[in-house]
């Protein structure tokens, strides 16, 4: 109750902070809401909070939808709003105090003109959002790394968001962005994949800062597929590490993985740009994910255990509530390839899946003809 009262008070008083202002979608204003508050979302909302104050086109307040959890007997949203820190998923890093956590998704997105989705895609639900009171000409951007499938082939998360939200203009942001390094303000780059120039420009302005440089390219599908499929490649890289292979082997796996990523993108989607694979979302994200990140880490542990534990058991043990994207994407990709009788065209993706979920030995990683 105290959290609800605090938040009501903030809204009614126009945040009651120096320089704060109440905007209701008027010309020249963009109201921000982030859906998701895990490790990566928390790292990026630090940037959004700063940029909302830096640029006049954005409303000062940044709403952060948080799935409510109790931390030492206290609601997580209450802790975030009192300390400006997500103590569960990004301990030790603070937000600007214009970031306001809200456990009610309808309240969090009310009046928003810019929706940022950064929740594991298995948790993405639209029942509530379809009836939310959004601001005029609301746009969305997906930071979610994964794909789903339907009878015709793969379906992009951005496409699911667009369709579920009544045709909303939906872009994507993907790049070489390991969350803890972003939170530490270490220099990195990212890529906005957009469908309309106006959306590309506003998302670039929202995320770009001196330590987080954002490029943009008119290729939603290409950027998004790079972000999704690199996690499958990272499983292969993790297997390499767990088996004690050196840099040569991992470099080969990265090259093969990038080649199959580009082939998959061009096979199932039109308008894929060659340049996309040389942007941060392509080669750079693939490299960093294959040397760091949760998918590589869990795959390494799986290989070291020689399948004595399942990937799901290792996920629960190592990630403590966070979710792997690579395993789910590997399943979805294999389903599509099997359905289309294309497994032989993508031997690397198929091998990673079979090592992960069937009886293929780890030696298949280097013995399969690519």
Strands (E), 110-152: 114-117, 139-142, 147-150
Is residue 307 among the annotated active site residues?
Answer: no
In the prediction, which pLDDT does 150 show? 82
In the prediction, which pLDDT does 301 show? 97
CA–CA distance, 63 with 99 (Å, rounded to integer) = 6
Residue 141 CB neighbour total at 10 angstroms: 26
In the prediction, which pLDDT does 27 show? 34
In the prediction, which pLDDT does 152 show? 78
Considering the candidates 31, 63, 93, 230, report the single residue annotated as catalytic. Answer: 230
CA–CA distance, 197 with 293 (Å, rounded to integer) = 32
- Across the chain, what does the average pLDDT equal? 90
CA–CA distance, 262 with 104 (Å, rounded to integer) = 39
What are the residues facing 101 on neighbouring strands? 64
The answer for 72, left when phi > 0, alpha when psi is -120 to 50, beta otherwise, is left
In the prediction, which pLDDT does 20 show? 31
Identify the segments of the chain with pLDDT beneath 70.
Answer: 1-28, 121-122
Q: Measured between alpha carbons, how far is residue 171 from residues 117, 248, 282 in Å?
A: 10, 36, 16
In the prediction, which pLDDT does 194 show? 98
Q: Measured between alpha carbons, how far is residue 62 from residues 165, 183, 341, 360 in Å?
A: 21, 17, 46, 47
In the prediction, which pLDDT does 315 show? 93
In the prediction, which pLDDT does 296 show? 96
Those residues whose C-beta lies under 8 Å from the C-beta of residue 110, and which sit 6 or more positions away, are 132, 133, 134
Those residues whose C-beta lies under 8 Å from the C-beta of residue 184, and which sit 6 or more positions away, are 93
In the prediction, which pLDDT does 293 show? 84
CA–CA distance, 90 with 208 (Å, rounded to integer) = 21
pTM above 0.85, yes or no: yes
């Amino acid at each position: 109750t105290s959290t609800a009262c605090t938040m009501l008070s903030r809204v009614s008083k126009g945040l009651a902070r120096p320089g704060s202002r109440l905007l209701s979608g008027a010309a020249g204003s963009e109201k921000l809401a982030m859906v998701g508050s895990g490790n990566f979302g928390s790292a990026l909302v630090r940037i959004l909070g700063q940029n909302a104050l830096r640029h006049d086109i954005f409303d000062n307040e940044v709403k952060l939808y948080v799935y409510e959890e109790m931390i030492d007997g206290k609601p997580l949203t209450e802790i975030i709003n009192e300390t400006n820190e997500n103590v569960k998923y990004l301990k030790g890093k603070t937000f600007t105090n214009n970031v306001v956590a809200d456990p009610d998704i309808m309240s969090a997105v009310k009046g928003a003109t810019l929706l940022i989705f950064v929740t594991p895609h298995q948790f993405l639900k639209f029942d509530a959002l379809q009836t939310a009171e959004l601001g005029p000409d609301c746009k969305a951007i997906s930071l979610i790394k994964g794909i789903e499938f339907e009878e015709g082939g793969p379906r992009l998360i951005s496409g699911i968001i667009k369709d579920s939200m009544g045709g909303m203009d939906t872009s994507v942001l993907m790049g070489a962005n390991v969350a803890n390094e972003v939170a530490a303000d270490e220099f990195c780059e990212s890529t906005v994949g957009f469908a309309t120039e106006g959306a590309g420009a506003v998302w670039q302005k929202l995320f770009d800062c001196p330590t987080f440089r954002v490029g943009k390219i008119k290729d939603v599908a290409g950027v998004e597929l790079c972000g999704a499929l690199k996690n499958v490649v990272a499983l292969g890289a993790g297997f390499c590490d767990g088996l004690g292979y050196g840099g040569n082997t991992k470099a080969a796996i990265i090259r093969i993985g990038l080649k199959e990523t580009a082939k998959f993108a061009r096979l199932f989607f039109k308008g894929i740009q060659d340049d996309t694979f040389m942007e941060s979302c392509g080669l750079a994200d693939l490299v960093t994910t294959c040397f760091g990140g949760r998918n590589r880490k869990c795959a390494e542990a799986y290989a070291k255990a020689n399948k004595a534990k399942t990937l799901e058991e290792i996920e629960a043990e190592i990630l403590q509530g966070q979710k792997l994207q690579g395993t789910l994407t590997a399943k979805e990709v294999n389903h599509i390839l099997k359905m289309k009788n294309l497994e032989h065209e993508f031997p690397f993706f198929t091998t990673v899946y079979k090592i992960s979920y069937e009886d293929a030995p780890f030696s298949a990683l280097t013995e399969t003809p690519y």
